[in-house]
Amino acid sequence: MTVIWYACFWLSRKLRVDDEFAVMLSTAVSICGVSAAIAACGAIQGDKKKLSYVTSLVLIVAVPMMVLMPWAVKALGIPDIVGGAWLGGTLDTSGSVVAAGALISEPAMKAGVIVKFSQNVLIGVAAFLLSVWWTFKKGAETGVRPSARVIWERFPKFVLGFLVASFVFSFVLDGASVSATKGTLGAARTLWFALAFTCIGLETRFTELVSMEGGRPAGAFLIAQGVNVIWTLILAFLLFGGILFAAPVIK
């Protein structure tokens, strides 16, 4: 995640993309797509139009990758577990990881979900670090010394709800209670996600993906995603292919 975030940010600057745009693009491509972009936008109090651009770009790129990557895993003879980990670390939405992993095998899907959820839990850490860095960055530009209050105001509060809910369902509630609420919460999640992505679609103009800032943000994202595909495949082989550690057994 660190390598890909920095690579995308560096590419964005080289392509003369402004830092606000670069932060959202880098966080989206390196962590977990839409959710990470929203957290980054909140941390830096970014332009919502740019956020809509980034989320649209993430979703558009995820669709062909969701089909082509499982095909590549099978065509290249990549082990299912390694392939699943590759999908989890590369595809930028959790839903696409599940769908793409299922095209390979059940173990591949589970490996992908493990990797993707491992990235998801770091949204809070990334949002906090971004809010601190951006506050000090702006303070240096304006000459105003940043305070803890300013950092707190910039921090996206929804991340706290994510962490609290994860903690409660992981360590406080018993398995029976979690299973009993899973269906209802899953239906609510599907509804709100559908509404959210429909609203994103209403704001998306495909022509803007090419025209906004001369298409440079899209170019930075696509190049960074290419780096991500290669780098994550190497890591997937090292960590899940039995090279650095014993290959995990996932059934």
pLDDT band at 70 (very low <50, low <70, confident <90, very high): very high
Segments making up each domain of the chain, as ranges:
2-240
Alpha carbons 151 and 186: distance in angstroms, whole number: 33
Alpha carbons 67 and 110: distance in angstroms, whole number: 17
Alpha carbons 32 and 9: distance in angstroms, whole number: 16
Q: What is the pLDDT of residues 75-103, one digit of tens each?
A: 999 999 999 999 999 998 777 898 899 99
Q: Would you say residue 250 has pLDDT above 80?
A: yes
What is the average pLDDT value for the chain, to the nearest integer? 86
Alpha carbons 221 and 60: distance in angstroms, whole number: 12
- Report H helices in the chain: 2-14, 19-27, 34-44, 48-75, 80-90, 94-102, 106-120, 123-142, 148-154, 158-167, 175-203, 206-211, 216-240
Q: Cβ atoms within 10 A of the Cβ of 41, count?
A: 25
